[in-house]
Amino acid sequence: MSYIPKERMILLSMKRRRIYEVKNDKKAEHREIEDRLSSLPDGVLLHILSFLDATYADQTCVLSTRWKYLWKLIPTLNLHSERFYTVKQFSKFASKILTLRLRKKSAALDALDFDCRGNIEPRILKKILNYVSSDNTHLQKLEIYGYGGILALTSLKLGPIKFSRTIFPKSLNLPALTSLNLNTFMFCGGDDNCVEPSSAFTKLNSLVIDRCAIRDAQTLRISSETLVNLAMHESSYDFDKIQLFTQSLCTFTYTGHPDQRICGSGLSSVKLVNIAAEIYFCWEKPAMLLLSWLQDLADVKSLTVSSTTLQDDRSSNEDKVENCQPNVATA
């Protein structure tokens, strides 16, 4: 054993201690960073997780008990099949995620981005649409991409699981859709004070709006070059005007309580009109609005108005209804 001077021993000891302290400092630094991240409010962490694909967000549950359930509450859900070897694996994962979200009522969803590089299984599509219509979503954006399957979808009927209005997404990628039936949705307005639920569907032929309402807007605008049939049932009273920019519109059906003016270039193309309106004799505004509807639609080929509508309308505007006599068939 070689002799080591005392000074050398001291220097070596100091060096070892310094290395130990540096390592401990680095560990402490990492722990401090981790603690800082974990100590952030839930809202901030959920916002960060919203930028991750669901597969990565899912993996954060192993970090600590603080993160165990956090990923299930993210407001934006990104489900992309490119993270999986097969579409079957992706479908299984997506089904699990959607089931968890449906069960956890506090997990409100603002946006869903679903991208499947292959045919989407019908059960998965059904689960997506059930989730979109559930009462624990406040969906502003829905993007569904797939090869075949969803892109070829031509007919869609959406309604709530419970009687509560779900916000209708402003972005819905269904390029082949020709028939759309919307029941009990809330349409949110933009900067122009109007809502346009049909503008994203370039091949739409038939549109049914049933028991829907409007928020942050005063105008319901229907814009479509291909729309032929439009039906509105039991509209809410919270907007002032219906605008039709529908050059191909042929049939217009309305049931409920008329409380809006109707206008737009689409009126000139309408050929068949069916109206079953509820007019109460003590309310003058709806009766006057209905009269203006009949006057604007006086040149249509067929106008069918329910007998109760005419009776109620005459009771409140008997002296004016005689001046509005298009070819009317009563039902």
Is there a domain that residue 203 lies in?
A: no
Domain membership of residue 16 (yes or no) is no
Q: Give the residue numbers spanning the domain of 136.
A: 40-152
Residue 64 placed within a domain: yes
Q: What pLDDT is attached to residue 147?
A: 55
Helix, strand or coil, per DSSP, at residue 113: strand
**What is the DSSP-derived secondary structure letter of residue 238?**
S
Q: What is the mean pLDDT of residues 234-242?
A: 83
User: Does 107 map to a domain?
Assistant: yes
- How large is the average pLDDT for residues 106-133? 73
pLDDT digits (tens, 9 = 90+) for 263-313: 888 788 999 999 887 765 545 666 788 888 888 887 889 988 876 666 654
Q: Residue 177 and residue 7: Cα distance in Å, rounded?
A: 85
**25 within domain boundaries:** no
> Is 251 part of any domain?
no
For all residues of the chain together, what is the average pLDDT? Answer: 75
Rounded to the nearest 5 percent, the helix, strand and coil shares of the chain are 35, 25, 35
Beta strands at 76-80 and 109-116: parallel, antiparallel or unpaired: parallel
- On the CB side of 40, CA atoms within 13 Å amount to 16
Answer yes or no: is 214 within a domain: no
Using one digit for the tens of pLDDT, what is the confidence trace for 68-80? 778 878 888 888 8
Tens of pLDDT, residue by residue over 11-67, are: 455 455 555 555 555 555 555 455 577 778 888 888 888 888 888 888 887 877 778
Give residue 322's pLDDT band: very low, low, confident or very high (50, 70, 90): very low
Q: What is the pLDDT of residue 271?
A: 93
**98 in a domain, yes or no?**
yes
Q: How would residue 231 be classed by pLDDT, with cut points 50, 70 and 90?
A: very high
| Mean pLDDT to the nearest integer, 212-217 | 90
- Looking at the structure of the chain, the number of domains it has is 1
pLDDT at position 278 is 73
Q: Where are the alpha helices (DSSP H) in 87-244?
A: 87-103, 122-132
